[in-house]
Amino acid sequence: NAGVTQTPKFQVLKTGQSMTLQCAQDMNHEYMSWYRQDPGMGLRLIHYSVGAGITDQGEVPNGYNVSRSTTEDFPLRLLSAAPSQTSVYFCASSTFSLGGYGYTFGSGTRLTVV
Amino acid sequence: QQQVKQSPQSLIVQKGGIPIINCAYENTAFDYFPWYQQFPGKGPALLIAIRPDVSEKKEGRFTISFNKSAKQFSLHIMDSQPGDSATYFCAASVGEETSGSRLTFGEGTQLTVNP
């Protein structure tokens, strides 16, 4: 059981470039999310999905796009990278269990935009 | 708008001490309060969680205390060990089975346990 797999682990982009951060889970979880982590700000929700074909915006969605064509995959697209998007990105998946959602996080993608 | 406020930002204790991390929330609709532990270079991992119908929950050396009227909850780590040195995040969500869940995180507390 791999859990939540994120690729790449590290990436450097030039301003204006686009790229896709990959996320895959093998736990058959219906819920998947993308968070960004910045120092002193905790984790902030970018986009989330409650099932294949269904996505919605989180707290900081601008500059990012998502789609969910399968239960397993939830890629995050940066449309035109900006230095403000330098951050560590985490993908997470969850299912409803024991009265709440215990999210399982991937190991993160550290993105630097120069 | 930070809906979950966490303090302190950093905390240093000696081995065997009892670090306490506090969180306060604003949204009274929150009904699920997990704590996550994160080691450097890793993703957060679920540590323990509580729902507001109980005032305390223990799992091993970790205890959550919950005060619904004050809209506050805290994490206590008993007999802390150097291996507990990590960043701890509190979070909150409205957890309905049919509508999914959006976690709102606190800012994080960097805990150092000295030998």
Show Cβ contacts of residue B109 under 8 Å, excluding neighbours closer than 6 positions: B6, B7, B8, B9, B10, B11, B21, B87, B88, B89
Residue B53 tokens, joined:
């119908």
| Radius of gyration in angstroms for the set of CA atoms belonging to chain A, rounded to a whole number | 13
What per-residue confidence (pLDDT) applies to A50?
87
pLDDT band at residue A45, thresholds of 50, 70 and 90? very high
b vs e for B34-67, b when ≥16 Cβ sit within 10 Å of the residue's Cβ? bbbbbeeeebbebbbbbebeeeebeeeebbbbbe
- B101 vs A4, A94, A108: nearest CB: A94
- A40 vs B31, B95, B107: nearest CB: B107
What per-residue confidence (pLDDT) applies to A95?
81
Beta strand pairing call for B109-114 and B10-14: parallel
What per-residue confidence (pLDDT) applies to B94?
79
Q: Is 60 exceeded by the pLDDT of residue A26?
A: yes
Mean pLDDT value across residues A90-94: 93
Which is more confidently placed, A41 or B25?
A: B25
Q: Is 60 exceeded by the pLDDT of residue A99?
A: no
pLDDT band at residue A94, thresholds of 50, 70 and 90? confident
For residue B99, how many other CB atoms are within 10 A of its CB?
11
Q: State whether B93 and A100 contact (CB < 8 Å).
A: yes
What per-residue confidence (pLDDT) applies to B103?
85
Of all residues in chain A, the percent with pLDDT exceeding 70 is 95
Q: Within chain B, which residues score under 50 in pLDDT? A: none
Contacts B7 to A, Cβ<8 Å:
none
Q: State whether B101 and A107 contact (CB < 8 Å).
A: no
B110 reaches A (C-beta below 8 A): no
Counting Cα atoms < 13 Å in the Cβ hemisphere of B28 gives 3
What per-residue confidence (pLDDT) applies to A81?
96
pLDDT in tens, A51-83: 899 999 999 999 999 999 999 999 999 999 999
- B107 vs A41, A48, A104: nearest CB: A41
What per-residue confidence (pLDDT) applies to A37?
96
Instruction: Show the DSSP H helices in chain A as ranges.
Output: none
Pair B37, B47: CB distance under 8 Å: yes
pLDDT band at residue A18, thresholds of 50, 70 and 90? very high
CA distances from residue B37 to A8, A104, B41 in whole angstroms, order as listed: 23, 12, 12
Which is more confidently placed, A24 or B95?
A: A24
Residue A84 dihedral angles phi and psi, to the nearest 5°: -65, -10
Beta strand pairing call for B62-67 and A100-101: unpaired
What per-residue confidence (pLDDT) applies to B97?
55
Of all residues in chain A, the percent with pLDDT exceeding 90 is 79
CA distances from residue A88 to A27, A94, B106 in whole angstroms, order as listed: 23, 20, 16
Coil, strand or helix: which one is B83?
helix
